[in-house]
Amino acid sequence: MLDDTHLPSIVTADMLHGALEAMTGRQREAAKVTHIGILLAGEYGPRPDFFGLMFDEAFVPGSSDPGELTPREGCAVFLGAIDRKRQGDGFIQEVQFTGTHELGHVFNQQHSNPRSFMAVSADRMSPFDVGSCAFNKREQSLLGQCSTSRFIWPGGSAFGDLGDLATNAAVDGAAANSGTGLTLTIGTDRDAFWPFEPMELDVTISCSRATRSRDVPDMIDPGYDAFTIWIEEPSGERRRYRSPKHYCRHKSKVRISHDKPFRRDISIFGESGAFTFRRVGVHRVWAQFQVSPSNVLHSNLIELNVLAPTIRDSYKAAKQVFHRHDIAQLLYYRRLTAERLSAISSLDTFVSAFPRARSNATAHYAIGRSLEDWASSRTTRSDTPPREIVEAARHHLRRAVRSTTLGDHRRERAEHALLRLGFAR
* pLDDT tens readout for residues 232-258: 999 888 889 999 889 988 889 999 998
Q: With pLDDT > 90 as the criterion, what percentage of the chain qualifies?
A: 49
For residue 288, the number of C-alpha atoms closer than 13 Å in the C-beta half-sphere is 15
| H helix intervals, 323-382 | 325-333, 341-353, 360-376
* Residue 100 pLDDT greater than 60, yes or no: yes
Q: Is the dihedral of CA 216, 222, 228, 232 positive or negative?
A: positive
Closest CA to 360 of 324, 422, 317, 420: 317
CA-based nearest residue to 7, from 54, 77, 98, 102: 77
Indicate the burial class of 395 (C-beta count within 10 angstroms; 0-12, 13-18, 19 or more): middle
Higher model confidence: residue 195 or residue 172? 195
Query: Residues 67-80: what's their mean pLDDT?
Result: 82
Query: What letter represents residue 417's amino acid?
Result: A
* Direct distance between the N- and C-terminal alpha carbons of the chain, in angstroms, rounded to an integer: 49
Residue 286 scores a pLDDT above 60: yes
Q: Do 111 and 247 touch, CB atoms closer than 8 A?
A: no
Residues 170 and 176 sit within 8 Å (Cβ to Cβ): no
pLDDT at position 24, please?
Answer: 83
pLDDT at 106 over 90: yes
3-state secondary structure of 253: strand
pLDDT class of 68 with cuts at 50, 70, 90 = low
Q: Where does the pLDDT of residue 269 fall: very low under 50, low under 70, confident under 90, or very high at 90 and above? A: very high
Q: Cα–Cα distances in Å, from 384 out to 227, 374, 390?
A: 40, 11, 11
Residue 417 CB neighbours (<10 A): 23
Percent with pLDDT over 70 in the chain:
89
Does residue 382 carry a pLDDT above 90?
A: no
Burial class (CB in 10 A: 0-12, 13-18, 19+), 20: buried
Distance CA 97, CA 245 (A): 20
Q: Report residue 31's pLDDT band, with 50, 70 and 90 as the boundaries.
A: low
Beta-bridged to residue 388, according to DSSP, are none
Is the CB of residue 37 less than 8 Å from the CB of residue 24? yes
How many residues are present in the chain? 425
pLDDT above 50 (res 424): no
Answer whether residue 105 shows pLDDT above 80.
Answer: yes
Confidence band, pLDDT 50/70/90 cuts, at residue 65: low
Residue 208, pLDDT above cutoff 90: no
Residue 7: its pLDDT value, please? 58
Which pLDDT band, with edges at 50, 70 and 90, does 170 fall under?
A: very low
| Separation CA 1–CA 314 (nearest Å) | 46
pLDDT at 171: 37
